[in-house]
């Protein structure tokens, strides 16, 4: 009996070190970084895939894969532990383990293209594990098939500086120009790093770009090579996503995503038809002590608050003692804020040590978030 063949595979690129999110990623892969206290970043991507009915999901790892593997638990929390189709973890490729796939996500994509073809996949969905969005991929794939696209690029319009993204120009749905991290962007519509490829078209593009005998390292990031080549030589369409989207690959963006979550302008955790599935264990109910003062904050199960908390996320196992104040902070898990401590614009990762006195300050502009991590 031959290997099972599947028409569609989803490949989640989860191998990078996430150096822009350091020190949160110094000891864990970026997809495993906590989100909203009760989740991990990769939960969002896997939940989108599960709710979209995509069962053949591959995770391409490299940086600290064992930590992520333990969390993934064979795909069980996302109903991806099927016998014939489900979650498949792809081992690290060759390269610099400090930077994950050292030559970029295009190289990572190429490294696994043979395996995609081997299972007979006609369509490949490619996603990152550090973006926040709720996206029904069934609609994306349906448009991809209806228009006969070689690649479909999910796009969104942002208000921030688009120069650190791939900027898209279109004529109707047809993508006419793709500029990767341009110095002078022509608009605010960007690629979200959710892509749907027709597998033979992706193979043709890679063959045209990769030299004889090469392992594909020259592909670098697909935004530098594969996508521009396909815009010039293939049929590329945009799928416009109108919902919330945020890349949380930097400390400032990660912090801002949580502030938006608290304000109710960010990611929607409360959609009963599109819940975020997770492998984190349940906790006891949160305890708010009589002396506590809590305003406009998210308090996760297992937290214990006796101090003053304003506009903050208090994660599981976090204890804010009486006489402590927490303002505009993200305390992910298992952090004790002692009496006499005053935190302002702080991210405290799991198990971080908090001293008495004042830590952090609120200032405008990027780079002004104080990050505390556990001492290992």
With CA atoms as reference, report the closest residue to 191 among 217, 141, 155, 148: 155
Q: Nearest 5°: CA angle at 38, between 33 and 42?
A: 40
Residues 195/105, Cβ–Cβ less than 8 Å? no
Tell me the pLDDT tens digit for each residue of 15-45: 766 678 888 888 888 888 999 999 999 999 9
Per the model's pLDDT, the better-predicted residue between 80 and 372 turns out to be 372
State the pairing for strand pair 39-40/151-157.
unpaired
Confidence (pLDDT) at 332: 95
Confidence (pLDDT) at 2: 46
Residue 188 has pLDDT above 70, yes or no: yes
Confidence (pLDDT) at 365: 65
Percent of residues, the chain, with pLDDT higher than 70: 93
Structural domains of the chain in order of their starting residue, each with its CATH number = 8-263 (3.90.550.10), 287-372 (2.160.10.10)
Tell me the pLDDT tens digit for each residue of 133-143: 999 999 999 99
Burial of 207 (0-12, 13-18, 19+ CB in 10 A): exposed
Confidence (pLDDT) at 18: 65
Beta bridge partners of residue 367, listed in sequence order: none
Cα 173 to the center of its chain, rounded Å: 26
Confidence (pLDDT) at 62: 74
- Cα–Cα distance list, 278 to 41, 78, 131, 281 (Å): 10, 7, 16, 8
Cα atoms found within 13 Å of the Cα of residue 257, Cβ hemisphere only = 24
Phi, psi of 292 (to 5 degrees): -70, 150
Q: How many helices (H) and strands (E) does the chain have?
A: 8, 27
Residue 100 has pLDDT above 50, yes or no: no
What does pTM read for this prediction?
Answer: 0.91
Residues 340/322, Cβ–Cβ less than 8 Å? no
CA distance 308 to 6: 54
Residue 361 has pLDDT above 70, yes or no: yes
CA distance 309 to 327: 6
Residues 132/194, Cβ–Cβ less than 8 Å? no
CA distance 156 to 166: 11
Mean pLDDT calculated for residue range 46-59: 94
With CA atoms as reference, report the closest residue to 57 among 6, 106, 108: 6
CA distance 218 to 208: 12
Mean pLDDT calculated for residue range 237-250: 93
């Amino acid at each position: 009996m031959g290997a099972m063949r599947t028409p569609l595979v989803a490949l989640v690129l989860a191998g990078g070190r996430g150096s822009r999110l350091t020190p949160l990623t110094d000891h864990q892969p970026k997809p495993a970084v906590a989100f909203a206290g009760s989740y991990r970043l990769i939960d969002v991507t896997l939940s989108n895939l599960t709710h979209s009915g995509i069962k053949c999901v591959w995770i391409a790892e490299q940086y600290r894969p064992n930590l992520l593997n333990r969390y993934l638990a064979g795909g069980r929390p996302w109903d991806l532990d099927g016998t014939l189709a489900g979650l498949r973890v792809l081992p690290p490729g060759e390269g610099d383990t400090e930077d994950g796939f050292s030559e970029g996500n295009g190289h990572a994509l190429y490294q696994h293209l043979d395996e995609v073809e081997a299972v007979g996949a006609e369509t490949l969905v490619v996603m990152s594990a550090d973006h926040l969005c709720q996206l029904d991929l069934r609609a994306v794939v349906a448009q991809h098939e209806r228009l006969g696209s070689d690649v479909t690029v999910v796009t969104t319009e942002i208000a921030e500086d688009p120069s650190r993204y791939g900027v898209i120009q279109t004529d109707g749905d047809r993508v006419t120009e793709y500029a990767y991290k341009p110095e002078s962007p022509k608009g605010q519509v960007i690629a979200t790093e959710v892509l749907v490829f027709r597998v033979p078209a992706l193979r043709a593009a890679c063959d045209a770009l990769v030299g004889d005998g090469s392992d594909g390292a020259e592909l670098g990031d697909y935004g530098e090579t594969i996508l521009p080549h396909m815009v010039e030589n293939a049929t590329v369409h945009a799928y416009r996503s109108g919902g919330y989207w945020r890349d949380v690959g930097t400390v400032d963006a990660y912090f801002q995503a949580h502030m938006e979550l608290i304000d109710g302008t960010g990611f929607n955790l409360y959609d009963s038809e599109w819940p975020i599935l997770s492998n984190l264990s349940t906790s006891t109910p949160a305890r708010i002590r009589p002396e506590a003062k809590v305003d406009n904050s998210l308090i996760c199960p297992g937290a214990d608050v006796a101090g003053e908390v304003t506009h903050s996320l208090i994660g599981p196992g976090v204890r804010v003692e009486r006489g402590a104040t927490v303002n505009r902070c993200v305390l992910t898990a298992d952090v004790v804020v002692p009496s006499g401590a005053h935190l302002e614009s702080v991210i405290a990762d799991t198990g971080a040590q908090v001293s008495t006195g004042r830590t952090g300050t609120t200032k405008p502009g990027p780079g002004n978030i104080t990050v505390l991590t556990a001492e290992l």
